[in-house]
Amino acid sequence: MSSLRSHDDTWDIATSVGATAVMVAAARAGETERENPLIRDPYARLLVSGAGTGIWESLLDNSFAERAAEVDAEAAAILEHMGSYQAVRTHFFDEYFAKASAAGIRQIVILAAGLDSRAYRLDWPAGTTVYEIDQPKVLEYKAATLADHGAQPAALRREVPVDLRFDWPKALREAGFDAGQPTAWLAEGLLMYLPADAQDRLFELVTELSAPGSRIAAETAGVTADERREEMRERFARFAAQFNLEQALDIQELIYEDPDRADVTEWLNAHGWRAEGQHSLAEMRRLNRYVELEHHHDDNAFSTFVTAERL
């Protein structure tokens, strides 16, 4: 159970769950600037640069990884794993959207869009509409920042500024969404921030709004053993102190660790979808981006990438 969350909490781009979007964008920026990147996001660094001071500044410092390895080799390996994971995750869901577009789907919904820039950077077919659902301040920041730099969406982009705990289907329809048309949905970097019952309700609503032929992709929430979670917290507290990162966000305090959370693949297969999952570590190995961790004992702590089609 998260200790920093409540049923009515809110955030902007620099606080709480909003700040995690900046960290993810920093990872995309770092990957884009590698010699042979898995993904290219020319907007990621712009979005990070305008977000103020935070741990993301260290993540974008090319010398930080080397200095970190000198202090704590395993912590540095974990940071490398996190960066590679974000690249692999982004690549996987980029490919998902490419396949959905090739199948003729022209209606896209990104749940908890954060600083996702796919509406701008992917090669969308003519007639595609991308709906982005998130907190108002987060969407405002992204749109204003990219507009200031002359960026234009590659598809028709429609903001749906609403918290997913409220009546987001109504807001989505009011933005122009057509439940009679096939939709490609994405729940990336979202489920771990929802309690188990809210996860179920989210998929129930998506199912109600999905015409036959619709697709969904989701990143599941891993479950970390209490002992390992506490060990990680203590390690990064020491690490943060050594690098003057005491104000770094403790993501574990934002996540709902719920052992009774439904298996996403099983839930979808039981509710009118044909679903399959690819474990994130297997995908990292397939793309030659797996990072060996000294104390990795439990695959359940890592997510699965699930894709499904509405029957």
Ranges of residues in the chain with a pLDDT under 50 are 1-5, 11
Give the pLDDT confidence of 258-290 residue by residue, as tens digits: 888 999 999 999 999 999 999 999 999 999 999
Beta bridge partners of 222: none
pLDDT at position 95 is 98
Token output for 151 = 């960026």
pLDDT at position 61 is 64
pLDDT at position 253 is 66
Angle between helices 73-102 and 64-71 in degrees, nearest 10: 140
pLDDT at position 15 is 54
Give the Cα separation of 40 and 47 in Å (integer).
14
pLDDT at position 11 is 46
Q: Residues with Cβ < 8 Å from 99, sequence gap 6 or more?
A: none
Q: Helices (DSSP H) in 103-209: which residue ranges?
A: 118-121, 136-148, 168-174, 196-208
pLDDT at position 263 is 96
